[in-house]
Structure 1
Amino acid sequence: MEVDAAYPAAATGDELRRLLTATLSADKASVDAATAGLDRISAAGDPSFPIALLAVAAGDGDQGTRIAAATYLKNFVRRNREGGLSSSDLYREFRDQLAQALLRVEPAILRVLIEVFGQVVEKDFVKENSWPQLVPQLKLVIQSSDAISPGQHPEWKTINALTVLQAILRPFQYFLNPKVVKEPVPEQLEQIAAEILVPLQVTFHHFADKVLLPQDGNKLAYEQLLLITCKCMYFTVRSYMPSGVKQILPSLCKDMFRVLDSLDFNSPPEDSATARLKIAKRCLIIFCTLVTRHRKHADNQMLHIVNCVIRISKQSIHLSKLNSLSDRIFSLTFDVISRVLETGPGWRLVSPHFSSLMDSAIFPALALNEKDIADWEEDTDEYMRKNLPSELDDISGWAEDLFTARKSAINLLGVLALSRPTRCICSFQTQEG
C-alpha cells in the first residue's frame, strides 16, 4: 500500500486508520512509509493526536488496526510524557477517555492500553498526586461493574476495572523513597486501601466462594478475578502496610487458606486447574511477604500459615509427576517455612512438625527420580544450576530465584541445620539407616 509523503499536522480518523493499517502490511516499503507518516503527524505537535489514536484503538473496526493504534499510542506517551502530551485541558480529556476506554475494551486491546495507563498513572497519580478523582471514580466503577453488581453497568467489566486497579497499585510495590528510613505509607496508597481494598474484601470472599464451588460454569471467570485481586493485594503489601489492609488482613488470610487447602496433588493437575494454581502461587508469595516484611501484623496468622504450608509440602512425594507451576508452589511452601524459621517464634511453630516435615516433605523433594536422570543427561550444567543450594546468606531471605522445589528444600534444610543441627543429623542418620 502506497502512502503519501506529506501529511498535515492534524490527521482525520480515516487517515490515521489508513496509516495504521499500512503498518500491518507484509510489504516493508509500505510499513516504512506508513511509520514515517505517523511520525510526521506525531512530530507536528497536534495536541489532539493522542486522543485521535485512542479513538481508533478503542473504537470499532479491524482489531489489528486497533492494536497498532494502541501500540503507537503507548510509544508516543513514553516518548512525550515528561515534556507534556498536550495542553492541560486536552491532556485531562485524554486521561479521562483512556480510563473510560479501559473499562470496556477486549483483552487484546486492554493488554496494550493498560501499559499506556500505567505510564500516565505513575506520573500523574504516584509522583505528582495530581489526579484526585481517580480513586473515587474507580471505586464507583468497581462497585457497579458487571460481575459485582449485575445489571447496573454491563458495559463496565469487572475484570477490566480490577486490571486498572492493578496498574494503579503496581508502582507501590516498591518503596517510592527507598533511602528514607521507615518511609511512611504514601497517602495515595492509604486512600486506595480505605476506599477500594477494604470494601473489596467482601468481594474477595465472594470470589473465593465461587472458585471453591465443585461445579460452576463461571468458575474460570471468577478464578481470573480472584487472581487479579490477589495480585492487587500483593502489590499493596510488598513494601508497605496501609492501615486499611491491617483491618482486613485476618479475613483475607482466611480466604487464602481456603484456596490453599483445596489443593490436591495426589494426581497431576488438569489443564483447567492452571488458574487455581496461579492463585495459590500468589497467596504463598503474599505469605512470604507478610512473614518477612510485616511480621508484627501477621503474628496472629503465623500458626495458621505454618499449618497450611506444611500440609501442602507433605504432598511433595508426587513432585516428579507434576508440572513446573506445581513445582513452584512446593518451592514457595518451603520458602515460607524458611522465612518463618527466621522469626523469633519460628522454631516453636515448626518444631511439632519437624519429623514429618523431614520425612514427608524435604527428603521426598530431594530424592532422585527419572526426571533427574533425563535432565542430567540432557544438560549437566543446567541441572547443577537448578539443584545446587543458594548462598548461605540467601537461604531464605531476599533471593527470588528459588524457583524449584528441590532448591528450596535444600535451602530449608540449611536453615534447619543452622538452627537445630543435632536434630537434622539424627534425621539424616535415620534416613540412612
Structure 2
Amino acid sequence: MSAEKLLQETLALRGSSLNEAPLSLSDVQSRARSIRRRRTACAGVGALAVVAAVAAVAVPVTLSGTSTKSVAPATTGPSPTAKATLNMQEEATIPYVESGTLHMPDGFSYTSKGSPITGVVLVGGHPVVTTTKDGQNTVATTIGDLSSPATAPAVASADGKVAAWVDPDNDAVMMSTASATAPLRFGTVKSGTTDDRAQVVAVTGEDCPRVCTVFVNVTGTASGGDTVSLVGTLASVAGSDSPPRWTPLVPGDAHLESVDDVTGTVAAGTLSVDEFPASDADPLCVADGIVRWSGVVDLQAGSELWRTCSARNLDVSPSGAYAVGTPVESDGLGPRRLLLFDGQGSDLGGLGDDGSTIMDSAWEDDTHLLLAMLYDDGVTWKLMRYDVVSQEMVPLRVLTGKPEDYKTLVLP
C-alpha cells in the first residue's frame, strides 16, 4: 500500500477525506511556534508516525476513537564524551557542507558563488542546494542551471526524483529534477490565512510528481488577527487532470501544529490541545495555557504508542528503532546534548561533548548519527559520528570557522 493511500485511509477513519471541505481556522487556532525543520530523508520505516511536540503525558489523544495510554515522562542519563584517539580519517557517508563547500561521499565537491550553502538534498544521486543571502533563500541545481527563490531549504521526495520547495511570491509548491533549467509548479497552498509563511517539510510517493503527496507547514494570521500554525497536504493522483487540492492534516482530536519529518508512514511534528486544564499538566508541557507533547503515533492503527515531556523535535532513524530529540530546556544557539530514545519510547540517555553546542544532526544509518558541534571558543567545529550501540563519539573533522558563522557545518 502506498504512503498516500495509507494517509488517506487513516484520515478517513475520523471522518475527513480529500473530498471534504477544509476545517475552519477556529478548529486549528493556536499560537505560532518556531519549528526546526528536520531535513533528514530516511527510508524503509514501519507503520509508525513520530509526532514531536512538548507534551503532557497525562493528556490522552484520541485517534480514530482510540484513547492512548499514559506513559511516564522519560528521564535522562549521562552523556558520553568524545574520544580524541579514534580515527580522524573516516569519511561521512552522507553529504555535508564544510565552510561553504559541499562534500559528497564519492569525493565530489561544489562551492556556491557569493552565497553560503544552507541546505542540501540528493535528487537522482545529484545534490540540489539551497543558498541564503540577506535572509533570502535560493534553490539551485549543481548540474543544471536552475535558480529559484524559496521560503526555506528544498526537500527531496522519498523516491529521490525531485526536490520541492515553496515560492515566497505566490505560495506555490515548486518541484525540480537535478538537471532541470526551470521548476515545475505542483500546486498552491490555500490555508485560509494571510501573511503566510509556508514551507515544504516532506514529499512522499512512488512516482513524483505524477503520484505524490507534499506536506506543508503554514504559520499565518487568522481573520481575527491571531497567529495560527497548521499542516496541510497537496496530493497528485495518477490519471487525474485535476490540480492537487489543499487538505488540512488532522491526525486525531489534538491539533497538529507542524510536521518536522515524514518518511513513508512516519511523521515527526507538533501536537497540542488547548482545552485540557493546564494546571493538571507537567510544567514542561505547558506554554501560555496550551499543552504540547512529543510522542509516537501508529497511523495505521490510529493510536499513540508513546510520549515524553522531556524532548521536542524528534528525529527518527531509518527503521524507526531509535529517535533523538532536543531537551525542552534548551535555548540559545542550540542544545548542549540530544536525548536518545528507543522505538518503544524508553529513554537511553543523553549524547553530546563537554563544552560544545549541537548545531545540527542527521542520521547516517539506523545506528549512526552525525553531529555538527560548535565549541565554546566560538570558532572550533567538529563533525562527529555517534554510535547508538557502543555509545562512542568519533571525530571525523576538526576545523576552525569564523566568529558568529553558525553555518560552518551544515548537514542534510
**Length-normalised TM-score, structure 1:** 0.23
Which protein has the larger Cα radius of gyration, Structure 1 or Structure 2? 1
- The structure with more helix, counted as a fraction of residues: 1
Higher relative contact order (CA 8 A, sep 6+): 2
Which has the larger strand fraction? 2
